[in-house]
Chains A and B, each alone.
Chain A
Amino acid sequence: DTGVSQDPRHKITKRGQNVTFRCDPISEHNRLYWYRQTLGQGPEFLTYFQNEAQLEKSRLLSDRFSAERPKGSFSTLEIQRTEQGDSAMYLCASSLGGGPYTDTQYFGPGTRLTVL
């Protein structure tokens, strides 16, 4: 497998439920990023990891969102008490993280969340 994978690809849930998404980065990629994209907009940064350390989290991210990357491999993004405004495509990307002039992010297929 040479690409970033995400699971599930689609998730439909009812408002108030918790959901969890998984991302498996490209092997040996140290950095892992989460973005959210709504219709007609570019992806919006949520958070990122360098190995297992979460280095930055968007100020726009409410406390209902949490992400982790145990052992620096796959990552999970959990949304608690989902709201209709959480409906979006959640994108994961990974990169080698070698520095600003070599870092290139490759995106997974995304998880499309619909909150009813």
Chain B
Amino acid sequence: QKEVEQNSGPLSVPEGAIASLNCTYSDRVSQSFFWYRQYSGKSPELIMSIYSNGDKEDGRFTAQLNKASQYVSLLIRDSQPSDSATYLCAGAAGGTSYGKLTFGQGTILTVHP
């Protein structure tokens, strides 16, 4: 099993819809989790971080963490064409290596007008 796996893409949603991005992880990267957005040819841009079970909301974005199921998700409400990008899920282990991120392969999201 890969340490961080993202749901297969690409994902296409109409403008205004909810986009749901999913990620599962192994025990080795179970301390904290991050969602990054990456536009083509650009570097990753942080969207949200989440450390505790439950939901965390920031504007149109909601991150959900379920440690029992080892599952992290990102919901994007009222999707806009500008949300079209690759979304990267990353996990970090605890201990002194807490900052070392392990990324999934990314999910390409396309929001069509």
Q: Which residues of A contact B (CB under 8 A)?
A: 31, 33, 35, 40-45, 48, 55-56, 89, 91, 95, 97, 99-101, 103-110
Q: Which residues of B contact A (CB under 8 A)?
A: 4, 31-32, 34, 36, 42-46, 49, 51, 88, 90, 92, 94, 96-106
Top 8 nearest A-B pairs (CB, nearest first) are: A42-B103, A100-B98, A107-B43, A110-B43, A103-B99, A107-B44, A100-B31, A43-B103
Q: A55 near B96 (CB under 8 angstroms)?
A: yes
**20 new A-B pairs (CB below 8 Å) besides A48-B99, A97-B99, A101-B51?**
A31-B99, A33-B99, A42-B4, A42-B88, A42-B105, A44-B103, A45-B102, A55-B97, A56-B100, A95-B99, A100-B31, A100-B94, A101-B32, A104-B34, A104-B46, A105-B46, A105-B99, A107-B36, A107-B43, A108-B43
